[in-house]
Chain A
């Protein structure tokens, strides 16, 4: 009954590989997000989707490509992984418009280590 879930929890891979992280929410929320938390714990938004439509796209290398097959899922694909991509990636979601679009609920995070 986990609200926002991510897989995998840990991901260790070599430089140059391509990897994906999956996120699912069962809260009925319209909006989903990807955040990156670096080694200094700084949390920065990368992308946001509302009803499968991209609405926030921060300055992120185009090696990162989000995909939302439906409003309950937001996946993150990363091509040609680099050492600097090592971080914890959090998925989050927030309720539909008109209810409250404020509170964001975070998933458990995926710790990505690029060797």
Chain B
């Protein structure tokens, strides 16, 4: 089955700097890769996603890149702000198995002001 590895497990950046979180997946048939943000005590919320027919997607300060050959995808946050502090999860889905998402272990992002 699918396995998703996520790095780093914790990341501290200064406000205004960029943050990059990387994930690798094992199943080459995976075709959908969402990123979720979870604030303390709250639900995971989708912040951006990418499908396997696209190499990059941007939404304001957030971007995701996908390298299908290498089976890895990354989240890029530019001009970080204190409210970006949260746990970020990547996930991968292999079509045909009930829309099952396999999550990475999460990255705790701390933005220092």
Contact = CB atoms under 8 A, between A and B. Distances in A.
Interface of A: 31, 40-45, 48, 50, 55-56, 90, 94, 101-109
Given A41-B87, A41-B106, A104 B43 contact: no
A71 B58 CA distance: 34
A90 B106 CA distance: 16
Given A45-B101, A102-B51, 18 more contacts: A31-B99, A41-B38, A41-B87, A42-B103, A44-B103, A48-B99, A56-B98, A90-B44, A94-B99, A101-B99, A102-B34, A102-B93, A103-B46, A103-B49, A104-B34, A104-B101, A108-B43, A109-B42
Q: Chain A contact residues: over half helix, strand or loop, or mixed?
A: strand
Nearest to B108: A41
A106 B39 CA distance: 13
A50 B106 contact: no
B92 to A, nearest CB: 12
B45 A48 contact: no
Given A102-B49, A107-B43, A42 B99 contact: no
A4 B108 CA distance: 25
Contacts of A42: 103, 105-106
Contacts of B112: none
A102 B106 contact: no
Interface in B65-113: 87, 89, 93, 97-103, 105-106
A102 B31 CA distance: 10
A55 B101 contact: no
A90 B43 contact: yes
A104 B87 CA distance: 17
Contacts of A40: 105
